Amino acid sequence: IAQYARSRGTALMNAMGSPENKKNSSIAAKAGKQKISDLLELQRQVQQLLSHLPHANEYCALKHVWEDVINPSNELEETNMVAEALAKYVDACLKDTKRQLGSSSSSPLDNNGNWAEAVISGVFCYLQAKDVFEAFYKQDLAKRLLWNRIVSMDVERHFVSLLKAECGAGYTSKMEGMFQDMDWSRETMSRYKQTQYQDTGFGSGDNSNSHKVEMDIQVLTTGYWPVYPQYPNLILPQSLVEPQNKFSEYYKSKYQGRRMTWQYALGHLVVRFKPKETP
């Protein structure tokens, strides 16, 4: 059984690092996620087989097998590829609405709802390049949080808690800080909008603001989030400069001494168009 697990698992990891995949990043990402899924399914099948054999756990230890499979040939590049593929697999799982809502799926790992535990106990705990996984996972977590792609915040926090249990509080402190920033940003925007409604006489029947830009701002703590490119020469249209300056004045008046830097690379814009009615 151990020999089968090693040969089958090694074949999966070798396919992940094939020359064809290395040439095309999109193909490599898709192939990597599939190989992680195949590896988890292999582990489930082997574990199910062992559960039917008496005293199997005493005579068939697979810890070293999975360590060798997940860290192929002790080559740094291939180990980093596994870490990146695992992070992308987790990102796909966390953005999968059907998986989070418990819908039917072709994979038993999805049906029993234990995919997160399977990832941690089956792959992550054996992975040597945990720092590489952390970097890719934080990038994907930031995109999900800032671009409103969170399917279930409870599942997001649960997965981070599993990482914390495996690696300690230091490993997940920045991830937990990202969650705190989002909660604090929602509270800050709620208070800011209340002051704006009061200042503009909201509810007085004045519709002059009906066509203005609605801006939602997220205040992030430097050090928690990944580093993003700066655009110091970017010229914003006046329709965005005005609400940006208003929020800056409000924030600086409430929290004196804090320095603000606008991260335009993280922003996104929704444009709604309503055509004129033709007679």
Please check whether residue 126 is in contact with residue 71, taking contact to mean a CB–CB distance below 8 angstroms: yes
pTM over 0.75: yes
Question: Looking at this protein, which amino acid is placed at residue 180?
Answer: Q
pLDDT values of the chain reduced to their tens digit, one per residue, 279 residues: 889 999 999 998 887 766 555 555 667 778 889 999 999 999 999 999 888 888 777 767 888 999 999 997 756 677 788 999 999 999 999 998 877 665 444 454 554 458 999 999 999 999 999 999 999 999 999 999 998 899 999 999 999 999 999 999 999 999 999 999 999 999 999 999 898 877 765 444 444 554 577 888 999 999 999 988 888 889 999 989 999 999 999 999 998 888 888 998 888 888 888 888 776
Quote the pLDDT of residue 266.
83
Contacts 24+ apart (CB under 8 A), 151-158: 151/94, 151/95, 151/96, 151/97, 151/100, 152/94, 152/100, 155/94, 155/100, 155/116, 156/94, 158/116
Quote the pLDDT of residue 72.
79
